[in-house]
Amino acid sequence: MLLKFKTKNYKSFVEETSFSMVAAPKQKGLDYSLTKIKVKGKEIRGLSSSVIYGPNAAGKTNIIGAMDVLRTIVLRGNIRNSEEKPSPNPAAAALELIPNNNEEEGKPVFFSAEFYVEDGENKFKVLYELEIDLGIFLDVEYPRKIISENLFVNETPIFQRTDNLYIGNMDIIRNYLSDATDHNIESVSEIAKSSLSQDELFLTNGFKLIFSQKFAKVIIDWFTNKFMVIYRADSMQLIKRFADPQKKAVYVEQTTDKAAKLFGINSNAVGYIVSEDEPDAKLYSIFRNAKSKKAAAVAAEIFESYGTIRFINMFPLVIKAIQTGGTLVVDEFDASIHPMALMSIINVFHNDDINIHHAQLIFNTHNPIFLNSNLFRRDEIKFVERDDNNHQSVLYSLSDFGTTGDRGVRQHEDYMGKYFISQYGAIKDIDFTPIFEEILYKEGEV
């Protein structure tokens, strides 16, 4: 479960920005799916969902992009550019695209993720922080360097890395330490200090190899399997691989197929087909021929609508999140999908009887239908606004306004109506009329 994500100097977010999935104090009502955990005697209440609003180019996708970049860096284990196929998020592969493009001097880029994870009977609140020097925007040749890297577990420092390395109290993860480390932490720490590389993460290298492969796996598994970030709505693609594609050329996933029928697919079924030449599964619409009674398949991208394909690609991720207690982050969750289908998915995350593993859904949108006090808590509704002068983005929550004063937000007021009269900011009055008047004037038609 994600508790907080922070970033600084990531694209338009120049100042430190905190995206919180912790319930704000004194918020009443809609207490569905609030996960209550205790760390050092303090109760933490985690939110099950969050929706992000703001005009085009405000930075809504940037905050999701920052999450995706940190995830990618952790899984890669270094801050070098990726040599693999480019991901939908170019900044995840080419880190010179990260720094704010208006800064003339390089400023450090900062990421942190605080999350709650369970491993068997063990429960941990993990905070991982990473600060890196990437130079200025588009400086490909800059010698990159990790400035600091910190790991805290249940608010206890495990390691803190700068130019040097501090090893903290590892009692809380003692059962995860290697035998050599458990009996001789001081001498092992000296070896670890000599292993530091300025462009490689200590978490996935020295800490994993020298101190605890088991606990590093707990963290890496969360980033791999529980932190599901879908960057850019038009690039969502679910790739399925099969161990032996020759034996199983057609695969129909029954749960997804049932959901697709409720959604309104045009075919008899949807399935994934694997050919001998291409091990990656492709989505197909599957029909039964009226004359021969044999099955026929047509590429889904030819027969089905974009919204249908996107729903079919996304729904297995929703299932995975609910089954594992994952955090699903989706850019433009509502793109080309009917609001009734989206409402049903949101209600699943808000249903305590179904969301028993405390999964989370985070998405950005332009659809005002979700600005509803009966659907989302005030601390679940976020806004992103971009300053027209310095082009910097800020992120804030509806609960930040409080409940009193001229801009106070009360529990059951009309969020949508207040948003459209710019009560909360993060909206622009757009009028294209002067552009067309100028065109007509130049053409002599006015």
DSSP string of 196-264? Answer: --TTB-SIIIIIIIII-HHHHHHHHHIIIIIEEEE--GGG-------S-TTT-SEE--HHHHHHHHHHT
Mean pLDDT of the chain: 85
Mean pLDDT confidence for 90-113? 93
Asked whether the predicted pLDDT for residue 13 surpasses 70, the reply is yes
Asked whether the predicted pLDDT for residue 252 surpasses 80, the reply is no
Residue 242 banded pLDDT, cuts 50, 70, 90: very low
Helix (H) or strand (E) holding 187: helix 185-194
Mean pLDDT confidence for 209-214? 91
Asked whether the predicted pLDDT for residue 431 surpasses 70, the reply is yes
Q: Residue 118's beta-bridge partner residues?
A: 123
Alpha carbon dihedral 289, 294, 300, 301, in 10-degree steps, equals: -70
Mean pLDDT confidence for 183-202? 82
Asked whether the predicted pLDDT for residue 240 surpasses 50, the reply is no
Res 22: pLDDT: 95
> Sign of the C-alpha dihedral, residues 348, 344, 396, 72?
positive
Residue 183 banded pLDDT, cuts 50, 70, 90: low
Res 239: pLDDT: 41
Res 412: pLDDT: 74
Neighbours of 26 (CB within 10 A): 9
Neighbours of 396 (CB within 10 A): 16
pLDDT tens, residue by residue, 134-149 = 999 999 999 999 999 9
Res 248: pLDDT: 46
The pTM score is: 0.89
pLDDT tens, residue by residue, 28-76 = 777 777 888 887 788 889 999 999 999 999 999 999 999 999 999 999 9
Non-local CB neighbours of 157 within 8 Å, separated by 6+ positions: 150, 151, 166, 168, 169
Res 76: pLDDT: 95
